[in-house]
Amino acid sequence: MRVLISIIHSGQTEEKPKAEVTIKPAQHVFRGDTATLRCDINGEGVTKTLWHKEGLTSVFSELQEHTFSSVNESDAGKYTCYGSNGSDWSQISDAVTLTVSERPKPKVTIKPAQHVFRGDAVTLRCDINHEGVTSWSYSWYKEGSTSVFSDRQEHTFSPVKKSYAGKYSCKGSETEGSRWSQMSDAVTLRVSDPRAVLSVSPQKWLTEGDPVTLICEVYSFSTGWTFSWFTLTVSADNSHHYNLLSDSSRGAGGNYTVSSAALNHTGVYSCRAEREKPAYKTQYSNTQLLWVTGVSPPVSLIVGSSRTQHFTSVSLSLSCEDQSNSDRWRVRRYTDGGRLEDCSSLHRGSQTGSTCTISSTNTSDTGVYWCESESEAKYHSVNITVHLSGVILESPVHPVTEGDHLILHCLYQHTTSPNLRADFYKDGSLIQNQTTEMSITTVSKSHEGFYYCKHPERGESPKSWISVRVFHSESQICFLNILSSVLTVCPYLLVTVMLIFKCGRMRGKT
């Protein structure tokens, strides 16, 4: 016992000892924790204790140790005590503050991304922001398991396997103490195989001589990919073959450029990517159809219904016709679903000679159809669309020649009178309203564009592109050639005449 002797006059007095408050495990605790207040005098126990809390006038406890089994915010505050070892009481202690805060919630981050490719490296990190705890120990859990698979703040998977995909969460416990955090929200790690994606720039429909670029990309943060390009063909037994382009660059750049497209560039293309570290080769990419149009194809694809838009559950006939009426042509198609198919391989299709018949159309029949020779030369594509319901536009399959008479109808599937009274639009502008047919007596190049019809109750048809072909007779072509030659020579003739005239005037003066 600490004794202070002071001399006052001739007598001696002893100062009372001062009580001391301690809080375990710490003065700063989390809501729900256990906190114990203890009152000591000179480091020794006391037989009697009186506890006070700032703001309260009454004694709330007479125990030397007072425990809050589940602390909440109302328990926070400043506490004092004084005690007795016998008949005499100590001085009141200094106030000690108990702070109660919400239990911290960790945050899980995944770098470089939550979606990674098999073979890459990925790091999980657990962060707990709280000033009251200087050091944390970590526990990592994967959804579906109660066992801890890592005790580090950062855990790295390298290389990543597909089995590592799933939801991950973490929590922390005080390294030198008894406090712990909440469980974090789960964060999902997705693991997939790298996928090559093929696109075309500037467009898929080309004229001879146009430039075009195939672009192969792997959407990921990883680098080091090299690329190859292929054409997709269908053999007589309807099996698919990927043929590596002979001039296919295998460099790091994912572009394959054709500076001047030719007819033999028409086809279905695909690409794939590969890398060395970690070693991986992607599957073949999506496919893209490139179509190069010539001036005068040797064969025409004739559609039996003479329109490009069709309803489901109807019969559709497509024929390849050339001047010799030969049967060496087959109808093939490339669907919106990315399938390259021969007519004879279709579940509802059959090929007789050069004619393909689809017994009952389905929306999956939407795509590009063309005629293909035995040497795999492709000619005269037609874009066919099949619609489940609503209205469709009856428009010509092939380009309209300048000067022709053009008639468009709006058709509805479920009616005895298929021609609807509807509004007709060109490039989004109303051109005729409430009529059963739209008629253009003499077609010109200015009539080229996207057309559709709209019925107030049945709805709006898909858009159809109507192309106008400008035709010149042999005499017109001859006249244009002569006129072009004359215009080319005219400047030289004019200069010659001016020189002769000038020379004549100079001789006259002389």
**Would you tell me how many other CB atoms lie within 10 Å of the CB of residue 78?**
14
- Looking at 60, 77, 101, the residue that finishes a domain is 101
pLDDT over 90 percentage in the chain: 45
Residue 155 lies in a domain: yes
Domain assignment present for 351: no
Question: Are both 285 and 221 inside the same structural domain?
Answer: yes
Question: What is the separation, in whole angstroms, between the first and last Cα of the chain?
Answer: 145
**pLDDT for the residue numbered 100:** 92
Give the mean pLDDT of the chain.
Answer: 84
- Residue 505 buriedness (CB in 10 A; 0-12 / 13-18 / 19+): exposed
Could you check whether the bond before residue 25 is cis, i.e. omega within 30 degrees of 0?
Answer: yes
Say yes or no to pLDDT of 88 above 90. Answer: no
How many residues in total does the chain contain?
510
The residue whose two tokens read 């400008």 is 470
Whether 124 is covered by a domain: the verdict is yes
Indicate if the pLDDT at residue 473 is higher than 90.
Answer: no
Chain centre to alpha carbon of residue 299: 41
Question: What pLDDT was estimated at residue 151?
Answer: 94
CA distance 399 to 308: 12
Residues facing residue 169 across a β-bridge: 141
Whole-angstrom distance, CA of residue 21 vs CA of residue 63: 13
Picking from 265, 293, 321, the residue at the C-terminal end of a domain is: 293
**CA nearest to 372, candidates 336, 329, 406, 335:** 329
Boundaries of domain holding 117: 107-192
Domain boundary among 278, 293, 308: 293
Same-domain status, 88 and 170: no
Q: According to the model, what pLDDT value does residue 508 have?
A: 55
For residues 166 and 239, state if they share a domain: no
Confirm if 21 and 37 have CB atoms less than 8 A apart: yes
pLDDT of residue 5: 32
pLDDT for the residue numbered 11: 44
Backbone φ, ψ for residue 479 (5° rounding): -60, -40
- pLDDT value at residue 490: 46
Counting the structural domains of the chain, the total is 4
Give the whole-angstrom CA distance, residue 125 versus residue 321: 67
Residue 368 within any structural domain of the chain: no
Question: 439 in a domain, yes or no?
Answer: yes
Residue 163 predicted with pLDDT over 70: yes
268 near 334, Cβ under 8 Å?
yes
The pLDDT score that the predictor gives to residue 47 is: 83
pLDDT tens digits for range 276-335: 877 788 889 999 999 888 767 788 899 988 889 999 999 999 999 987 777 789 999 999
**Tokens encoding 259:** 């500076």
Beta bridge partners of 126: 108
**Residue with the larger pLDDT of the pair 247 and 171:** 171
Residues 200 and 289 in one domain: yes
Q: Are residues 458 and 422 in the same domain?
A: yes
- Which of 77, 46, 40 has its CA nearest to residue 60? 77
Burial 223-250 (b: 16+ CB within 10 A, else e): eebbbbbbbbbbeeeeeeebeeeeeeee
Q: Are 113 and 170 part of one and the same domain?
A: yes
Same domain, residue pair 172 and 214: no
Bond preceding residue 278 cis, omega within 30 of 0 = yes
Residues 94 and 120 in one domain: no
Is 356 domain-assigned?
no
Split at pLDDT 50, 70, 90, the class of 486 is: very low
Tell me, yes or no, whether 60 and 36 share the same domain. Answer: yes
Report which residue type is found at 207.
T
133 and 97 share one domain: no
Q: Give the domain CATH number at 30.
A: 2.60.40.10
| Residues 180 and 216 reside in one and the same domain | no
Per-residue DSSP letters for 318-370?
EEEEETT--S--EEEEEETTS-EEEGGGSTTEEEETTEEEESS--GGG-EEEE
448 closest CA partner among 399, 376, 388:
399
Is this structure's pTM higher than 0.75? no
What letter represents residue 503's amino acid? C
11-62 confidence digits (pLDDT tens)? 445 688 899 999 998 898 998 989 999 999 887 777 889 999 998 888 988 8
Q: What is the pLDDT of residues 371-394, one digit of tens each?
A: 998 888 888 889 899 998 889 999
How far, in Å, CA of 431 to CA of 451, rounded?
Answer: 10
In a domain, 178, yes or no: yes
Task: Please count the other Cβ atoms lying within 10 Å of the Cβ belonging to residue 162.
Answer: 11
Q: Which two tokens stand for residue 262?
A: 């030719």
244 shares a domain with 289: yes
Asked if the structure places residue 488 within a domain, the reply is no
Q: In this structure, which amino acid lies at residue 315? A: S
